[in-house]
Amino acid sequence: MSPAKLWLRVYFAGFVVIVAMLILTLFTTVPYGDLSRLSRLSDAEFGWQQPPPKLPEKAYMRAVPLAEADIIVIGDSFSMTHVWQAELVRAGYKVTTIYWGSYRETMCGDVQQWLIDAGFRGKLVIFESVERLLKERLKLSNQCAHMTAPFVPRLNPPVVALAEKPDFALNSTATLPTGIITWDRTRRARESPGDISFDETQVRVVPDGCALFSNALCPKALFFKQDLKAGELDASDFERMKEFNAKHTLIPYVWMVLPDKTTTYLDPGHSKAFRDVYMPAKLGPDFFTMAAENHDKVKDFYFPNDTHISTYGQEIMGKMMLQTVREALAKPAAAPQ
């Protein structure tokens, strides 16, 4: 065989492989969960299938300028869709939301004065944090005296909640190897008799999983490794919270501490030492108990392919926060038309 023919055969074989990889990638389900996206596992197996509840009207999910707000939420990705906040807005409260991540996960000792200087004239601050990030946020915040970053308003939700399962679309923005990697990892996850990990995501066997999740491979669901890496909250973290709270006396506040997905489904005793001292202090609603009582009553209370509480769960969160806010504030103005 001449060198030219050999080169053409090698070139043609390589071309066929690349075309095959491209086709596989294009027809790989576009991920619609953060954990399936991070791990490159197929949402054909791990994506939720049950239709979510009807989303609140868009007017209820739009924030107001800071100067008009009754309530400011300082939250994380669990507050980015504005779904739970819509329960407050529907009841007539004016709400705006900012995010820990925009300020290096740190709310310094003068954060309330910083809000006032930025124009806040409202009556309540809500500090929302997921369990796995609270320890580090309290440590950083207690070491910081002054907010230096400018206030950054966000009127529209940074993350748009899905009203329904996405329709099929070509996975045209993925990198070339995505299809073969997703196929191989999903095959290994399906065939594994127990738990298996990919990057920062764990595929874990969940007891009675098909009663809890709507994904096709429902004996298993995806979990974020950071839930375990972050460690448990304990009594020392509550002491840090008391230190943090002591600096914030200008505006009333409440806390929303949300349990990790791993805590809710697989390790209900996680952070018990913290909860034992946090809950008697009545700094906010008991979302650990709420999640424990609802995760087996509401299918997809957390999404199977995501680390976040689903729209179903956020509706319950919103109702709990509305009760808390009503106890803290006077009767609100009329709801938006």
DSSP 43-75: HHHHS--SPPPPPPPGGGG----GGG-SEEEEE
- Residues near 175 by Cβ (< 8 Å), separated by ≥ 6? 25
Tell whether 71 and 192 lie within a shared domain. Answer: no
- The amino acid present at 63, given as its one-letter code, is A
- Structural domain contains residue 263: no
Give residue 89's pLDDT band: very low, low, confident or very high (50, 70, 90).
very high
Cα torsion angle, 130, 136, 139, 141, sign: negative
Mean pLDDT in residue range 288-299: 97
Mean pLDDT in residue range 87-102: 97
Q: How far apart are CA 234 and CA 3, in angstroms?
A: 70
Lowest-confidence segment of 5-19, 197-211, 300-314, 317-331 by average pLDDT: 5-19
Q: Read off φ and ψ for residue 57, nearest 5 degrees.
A: -60, 150
Tell whether 240 and 141 lie within a shared domain. Answer: yes
- Structural domain contains residue 201: yes
Which of 122, 44, 74 lies closest to 255, judged by CA? Answer: 74
pLDDT attached to residue 257: 98
- Structural domain contains residue 334: no
pLDDT attached to residue 1: 67
- Asked if pLDDT for residue 336 goes beyond 80, the answer is no
Is residue 291 within 8 A of residue 320, CB to CB? The reply is no
- Structural domain contains residue 83: yes
Tell whether 157 and 247 lie within a shared domain. Answer: yes
- Structural domain contains residue 167: no
Q: How far apart are CA 23 and CA 15, in angstroms?
A: 12
Tell whether 117 and 238 lie within a shared domain. Answer: yes
What one-character-per-residue DSSP string does 310-336 give? Answer: -HHHHHHHHHHHHHHHHHHSPPP-PPP
Q: How far apart are CA 67 and CA 82, in angstroms?
A: 19
- Structural domain contains residue 264: no
Domain count, the chain: 2
Tell whether 284 and 146 lie within a shared domain. Answer: yes
- Asked if pLDDT for residue 335 goes beyond 70, the answer is no
- Structural domain contains residue 290: yes
Tell whether 222 and 240 lie within a shared domain. Answer: no
- Asked if pLDDT for residue 289 goes beyond 60, the answer is yes
Tell whether 141 and 241 lie within a shared domain. Answer: yes
Tell whether 121 and 238 lie within a shared domain. Answer: yes
Tell whether 145 and 217 lie within a shared domain. Answer: no
Tell whether 214 and 238 lie within a shared domain. Answer: no
Three-state secondary structure call for residue 260: coil
Tell whether 223 and 236 lie within a shared domain. Answer: no
Tell whether 79 and 16 lie within a shared domain. Answer: no
- The amino acid present at 197, given as its one-letter code, is S
Q: For the chain, count helices (H), then strands (E).
A: 14, 7
Q: How far apart are CA 76 and CA 104, in angstroms?
A: 12
Query: 5 vs 114, which has greater pLDDT?
Result: 114
Which domain covers residue 37, as residue numbers? Answer: 3-51+172-228
- Structural domain contains residue 27: yes
Give residue 108's pLDDT band: very low, low, confident or very high (50, 70, 90).
very high
